[in-house]
């Protein structure tokens, strides 16, 4: 390579032509750059050929060929066990009362921390457990319900309510912010509380409520009380001297009114004056008789005609038969007409469950429902409105809306079948806070006329949505 470059340079220098110095310099620079590139490549080749590697790769193990994805057996997926519900560590003592006043029920709830509960149940025990097994929880609940049997009594409108035994529950979280529990969950000692519930059924919305409280455990002197009624609440302090909790309604809590039952003008019965008809026939027969015999009445016929008219009026009033006619209900063909009938009937179904006495619930349901549907609606609705769990708290309905989408005549009566959707919004309150509940339905309703009123007689639910 060097000899070739030297020959080229010598040829350029010895050529008989006029020299252009800038061009010649540029050519020399390009040739030198090419020569450097070739020289560095030759040196690198020599070094690679002469320098031995510090290790031998001839006997190195070769990687195994990759297995096709289809040939690899997929390991069965194992579902992870559900994670336990996160708990909140309680700091400090808990002794709290909640008084729920509803139109037809008054409920008293009390919460205590576990240290206070153990000190009350087992005052000599010093080694407190770290966790509470389901078996230990059941034992604590049984012992606590026996000892708290006479803690609470209720008087409404100066009338003493019947005795109600307490129901005890384990509660996670903190007062006013409890969290759900898993079934038969093992609880951390410092992440749970013990709650008591007394549910008193009242016949009317109370104007005044008085709770006699005897649950002054561990030398308690005072307990904060939160009274919740409707969408309002107020706080008071109960003390161990008076041992009473007073609350006055002052018109702030009222039951929701029932919707008027849709009615129509029924067919009026027919009154048949049988006595008058018989008297007329008898009078005509007498007139025909004397006319056919050419008989002359003494004193003329006018007195006899007056007596006949008096008898006609008298017998028309005395002998009357009433004939009942069938239902003459209007034919419902428009969704707007069906909407005015269906919406009040469904609204009253939910308002019936504001009551807590079964007979009263049935009485209100019977205003809008008839037949076998009455029992069915009672069972299904009370299940939908009752909170899951042993507490059994019922949802209070706050909003209701129904829409009729299609109407068709009933084939066997003067009623109609309505395809409609409705939604129910309510809330359930316990342990100092409320949970919203939403139920949505799509169904076919059969509505029939009965004694001047429209009533639900059949229900076919097609879709249910709950939140």
Maximal C-alpha separation, the chain: 186
pLDDT tens sequence across 303-347:
777 888 888 888 777 778 877 665 578 889 999 999 999 999 999
Averages of pLDDT over runs of 10 residues in the chain (467 residues) are 47 44 48 47 38 37 41 39 61 94 95 96 90 96 96 94 95 90 91 95 92 95 95 95 95 92 78 84 82 74 79 80 71 94 95 92 94 92 76 83 95 90 92 90 94 93 90
Residues forming CATH 3.10.450 domain(s) in the chain: 335-466
pLDDT digits (tens, 9 = 90+) for 419-444: 999 999 998 888 998 888 899 999 99
Q: State the chain's mean pLDDT as an integer.
A: 81
Report angle CA 91, 92, 97 to the nearest 5 degrees: 115
Residues 6+ apart with CB under 8 A from 79: none
What is the pLDDT, as a whole number, of residue 388? 63
What is the secondary structure of 125-184 as a DSSP string?
--S--SEE-HHHHHHHHHHHHHHTTTSEEEEETTEEPPP---EEEEEEEETTEEE---TT
- pLDDT above 70 as % of the chain: 79
CATH of range 335-466; options 3.30.410, 3.10.450, 1.10.275, 1.20.5: 3.10.450
| pTM for the model | 0.69
For residue 328 the two structure tokens come to: 């003459």
Residue 29, both tokens: 């620079």
> Are the CB atoms for 456 and 445 separated by under 8 Å?
yes
pLDDT for the residue 283: 81
């Amino acid at each position: 390579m060097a000899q070739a470059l030297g020959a080229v340079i010598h040829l350029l220098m010895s050529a008989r032509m006029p020299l252009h110095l800038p061009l010649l310099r540029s050519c020399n620079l390009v040739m030198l750059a090419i020569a450097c590139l070739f020289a560095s490549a030759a040196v690198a080749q020599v070094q690679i050929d002469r320098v031995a590697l510090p290790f031998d790769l001839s006997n190195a193990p070769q990687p195994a060929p990759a297995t096709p994805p289809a040939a690899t057996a997929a390991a069965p997926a194992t579902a992870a066990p559900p994670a336990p519900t996160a708990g909140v560590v309680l700091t400090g003592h808990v002794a709290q009362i909640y008084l729920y006043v509803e139109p037809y029920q008054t409920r008293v709830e009390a919460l205590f921390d576990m240290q206070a509960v153990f000190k009350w149940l087992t005052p000599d025990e010093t080694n407190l457990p770290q966790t509470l097994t389901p078996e230990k929880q059941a034992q604590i609940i049984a012992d606590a319900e026996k000892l708290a049997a006479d803690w609470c009594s209720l008087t409404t409108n100066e009338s003493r309510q019947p005795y109600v035994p307490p129901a005890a529950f384990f509660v996670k979280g903190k007062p006013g912010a409890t969290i759900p529990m898993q079934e038969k969950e093992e609880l951390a000692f410092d992440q749970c509380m013990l709650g008591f519930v007394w549910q008193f059924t009242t016949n009317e919305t109370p104007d005044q409520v008085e709770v006699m409280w005897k649950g002054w455990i561990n030398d308690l002197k005072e307990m904060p009380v939160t009274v919740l009624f409707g969408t309002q609440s107020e706080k008071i302090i109960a003390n161990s001297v008076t041992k009473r909790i007073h609350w006055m309604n002052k018109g702030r809590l009222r039951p929701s009114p029932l919707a008027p039952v849709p009615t129509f003008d029924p067919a009026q019965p027919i009154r048949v004056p049988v006595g008058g008809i018989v008297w007329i026939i008898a009078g005509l027969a007498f007139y025909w008789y004397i006319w056919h015999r050419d008989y002359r009445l003494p004193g003329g016929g006018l007195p006899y005609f007056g007596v006949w008219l008096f008898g006609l009026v008298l017998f028309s009033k005395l002998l009357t038969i009433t004939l009942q006619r069938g239902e003459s209900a209007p034919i419902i063909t428009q969704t707007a007409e069906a909407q005015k009938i269906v919406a009040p009937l469904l609204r009253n179904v939910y308002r019936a469950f504001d009551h807590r006495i079964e007979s009263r619930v049935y009485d209100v349901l019977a205003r809008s429902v008839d037949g076998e549907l009455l029992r069915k609606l009672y069972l299904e609705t009370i299940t939908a409105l009752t909170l899951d769990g042993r507490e059994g708290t019922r949802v209070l309905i706050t909003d209701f809306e129904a829409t009729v989408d299609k109407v068709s005549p009933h084939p066997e009566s003067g009623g109609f079948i309505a395809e409609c959707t409705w939604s129910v919004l309510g809330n359930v309150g316990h342990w100092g806070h409320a949970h919203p509940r939403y139920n949505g339905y799509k169904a076919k309703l059969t509505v029939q006329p009965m004694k001047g009123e429209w009533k639900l007689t059949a229900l076919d639910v097609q879709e249910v949505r709950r939140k």
